[in-house]
Amino acid sequence: MSLLIRNARVLTLTAPLKPGQPVPGRPRRGKELGELGVIPQGDVLIVDGKISAVGPKVESPPDAEVIDAQGRVLMPGFVDCHTHICWAGDRLGEWEQKLKGVPHAEILRTGGGIQATVRAVRDATKKQLAAHLKTRLDALLRDGTTTVEIKSGYGLQAEEELKMLRAIVRAGNEWPGTIIPTALLGHAFEGELDEYARMVVKEMLPTVSREFPAITVDAYCEQGAWSVEACVRFFEKASKHHPLRVHADQFTSLGMVPEAVRLNVRSVDHLEASTKADLLLLAQSRTMGVILPCTGFHTDGRYARGGFFVDAGGALALATNCNPGTAPTHSMPFAIALAVRFCGLSPAEAIAAATVNAAAVLGFSDRGMIEPGQRADLIILRHKDERQLAYELGGNPVDQVICSGVLMPG
């Protein structure tokens, strides 16, 4: 099957490799993040789900379906590299309490917060979790997200975490895009932290590893959640078989960033409370930074210093953090708009952080760019200027979605 898109403003996201740089698929750093590789008026040919040719003029095969973009922006599909979109229940009552000024500690004391979602997830079946997730995945796709990472973390027991991971895989098998499950085994805890963390290392991690041997594992380092010491013990054990990621510095700088760099963690996510010294250290390391501005918008108005990190040469990605408590949105365009307004990114930097660099966080080198051989996950915007992605608030800027070479229904 062939599909030819003509007369598009093509954001290839390809950046010329400089001497000594590795093969394509590496994350963009510093000033490279603003290089969108624009073809002002170009064509893209897709054959059998992959990009076959890109250029100002591409010959059409006889059997090709042709789409005339009429000057609109054609770009890679969004890659949402940090979400918690597998959940049950809702947190609407809790949100209303917050609007009335009820302190967070009081909400937690009366059973709110993550524990409320934990109870709802435990009460749900795998089939129910998968059905809820599939509905959310379909909404993501309509808004241009073609690859999404999905964390467990609301089970807090081995069998419940496995139920979540199985539901994620089940929903992903029925979705045309790509899902990447992550085992968030260090999210919250029950009882006393040290005892719970030992259980995770000795029982939960081996149980998950047997069924998901190469899955990335994650932990949430924060006051009231996992300590630096608990995260380090967990990661030192998990790193023998699993890639690592960590939530850190959302509210408090506890010292997890230097440990993450030492442990060669794939990414440190949040960074709202990170010190400049830690951001500089992270920027000079192989570990990527992931900012989540939708969280600051919904919670406390705090945002990571993404522009500072990029100017320091860091490899930055952008994600929604979609979850029922602190970021109830699946919209990558909204995340881009917030990152430009509050995190110091240019529109071009935010677009690259939401595509090619987000793909790099998940270990993909076959998406996030428009060049021959790449998976044909593409979106056509309503707009002829990509800066509208950051300028416009609300609504869906995506006109058409092409997933693995197939034009999705409108």
User: pLDDT by residue (tens digit) across 187-210?
Assistant: 999 999 999 999 999 999 999 999
Task: State CA 259 to chain mean position distance.
Answer: 22
Query: CA angle at residue 349 from 343 to 353, to 5 degrees?
Result: 85
Q: Do both 190 and 330 map to the same domain? A: yes
Query: Are 90 and 116 within 8 A, CB to CB?
Result: no
Query: Are 359 and 79 within 8 A, CB to CB?
Result: yes
pLDDT at position 108 over 80: no
Q: Do both 49 and 100 map to the same domain? A: no
Helices (H), 34-113: 92-99, 104-109
Rounded to whole angstroms, the Cα distance separating 195 from 189 reads 10
DSSP H/E element including 390: helix 388-391
pLDDT per position as a tens digit, 352-362: 999 999 999 99
251 Cβ contact list (under 8 Å, min separation 6): 222, 223, 272, 273, 300, 302
Q: Do both 10 and 106 map to the same domain? A: no
User: 380: closest CA among 58, 36, 10, 4?
Assistant: 10
Q: Do both 13 and 146 map to the same domain? A: no
Task: Give CA separation, 147 vs 73, 324, 359, in Å.
Answer: 19, 20, 8
Q: Which two tokens stand for residue 225?
A: 């959640």
Q: Do both 71 and 97 map to the same domain? A: no
Average pLDDT on 26-35 reads 93
Q: Do both 85 and 65 map to the same domain? A: no
How would residue 22 be classed by pLDDT, with cut points 50, 70 and 90?
very low
0.95 exceeded by pTM:
yes
**pLDDT of res. 26:** 83
Across 25-29, 75-79, 363-367, least confident range: 25-29
Average pLDDT on 375-400 reads 97
Q: Do both 58 and 207 map to the same domain? A: no
Average pLDDT value over all residues in the chain: 95
DSSP H/E element including 54: strand 50-55
Q: Do both 10 and 83 map to the same domain? A: no
pLDDT per position as a tens digit, 40-59: 999 999 999 999 999 999 99
Query: Are 117 and 182 within 8 A, CB to CB?
Result: no
Average pLDDT on 103-119 reads 85
Question: Can you give the CATH number for the domain in which 347 is found?
Answer: 3.20.20.140
**pLDDT of res. 17:** 56
pLDDT at position 401 over 60: yes
Q: Do both 64 and 138 map to the same domain? A: no
Q: Do both 70 and 183 map to the same domain? A: no
Provide the number of structural domains found in the chain. 2
Q: Which domain holds residue 266?
A: 79-361
pLDDT per position as a tens digit, 244-263: 999 999 999 999 999 999 99
Helices (H), 287-381: 293-298, 306-311, 332-342, 347-353, 356-361
Q: Which two tokens stand for residue 280?
A: 């500089």
Q: Do both 59 and 96 map to the same domain? A: no
Average pLDDT on 275-284 reads 98
pLDDT at position 225 over 60: yes
Q: Which two tokens stand for residue 299?
A: 């919670």
Rounded to whole angstroms, the Cα distance separating 10 from 402 reads 14
User: 121: closest CA among 82, 87, 156, 169?
Assistant: 87
User: 362: closest CA among 230, 187, 218?
Assistant: 218
pLDDT at position 331 over 80: yes
Question: Can you give the CATH number for the domain in which 394 is found?
Answer: 2.30.40.10
**pLDDT of res. 255:** 98
User: 259: closest CA among 235, 243, 277, 276?
Assistant: 235
Query: Are 114 and 181 within 8 A, CB to CB?
Result: no
Task: State CA 85 to chain mean position distance.
Answer: 11
Look at strands 378-381 and 398-403 and give their pairing: antiparallel
How would residue 145 be classed by pLDDT, with cut points 50, 70 and 90?
very high
Q: Do both 166 and 35 map to the same domain? A: no
